[in-house]
Structure formats: structure tokens, C-alpha cells
Homo-oligomer: A and B are copies of this chain.
């Protein structure tokens, strides 16, 4: 059975993340997702700088966000990020954001990242360090 790698990150809604409607601006969730990826990377040794030091950027090529309920300034959220394994040279994360006080689902979504080299050329095969990282963390390709 495949193990799923997860990380969680708590946050409090910042004033500048809200908009004239008085709720969190939908674009702010992109930052919440980014914070979650960072928390995940820190936990599992797969953060942005580690990847760059291996000679790769990992730009996002697909992002999907569903908004389920609203958050306001000062609300406290928890974001859960899950690494979804796939055989190709892709990094897929799924995200769920909850209101910490009510437990309510606030938003969910996913991102897809690819590997490019320092000249921004697409890397077709999984880099060795990525395969090694998967093995080390008990993620097996089928």
C-alpha cells in the first residue's frame, strides 16, 4: 500500500488578503497553497532551494481551486497538502483548507509542476534526485 506524504500549515488571515467584499480575496489562496508547498518541502527535504540546488526549477503548469466557504480577516485556517505520486516527471499536490475553529472546509485544489532546467527547458524524465527522494520517502512507482 502506498504511503501518502502530507504536511499541514496553520495560518491566520491577513488584513491585506481580504477585499472590498470583506472576505478573503480568491487570489490569496494561491499564496496559501504556496505556503503549504513550502511547509511540505521543509518537512520532507523537498523545498524550493533544495530543488534549485539540484539544477531545476519546478514551475506550476496547472492550478485548480474550488472555493467552498468564505474566510474573513482574523479567521484561522489550516491547510493540508498531500503529495500525489505519479510515474512521470511531475509534482502533483492536492490541498484542503479548513477553518480551524469550525472545522468547515474552506477550499480545496491541486497544482501540477514540471521540471525545467536553468534555461527553462522542459525535463522529460524524472531527475535522479527526485527518484531518490521518492524512494527515501517510501513512495514507489508502480
Q: CB-nearest residue of chain B relative to A58?
A: B21
Secondary structure call for the A interface: mixed
Which of these, B19, B68, B74, contacts A18 with CB under 8 Å?
B19
Interface membership of A88, Cβ < 8 A: no
Q: Please encode chain A, from 13 to 41, with 1 for each CB lying within 8 Å of some chain B CB and 0 for all others.
A: 01110111111011100110011001000
Interface membership of A67, Cβ < 8 A: yes
Give the residues from 81 to 131 in chain A that come closer than 8 angstroms, CB to CB, to chain B: 120
Are B16 and A31 interface neighbours, CB within 8 A?
Answer: yes
Are B19 and A16 interface neighbours, CB within 8 A?
Answer: yes
Are A19 and B21 interface neighbours, CB within 8 A?
Answer: no
Which of these, B20, B30, B38, B60, contacts A22 with CB under 8 Å?
B20
Interface membership of A4, Cβ < 8 A: no
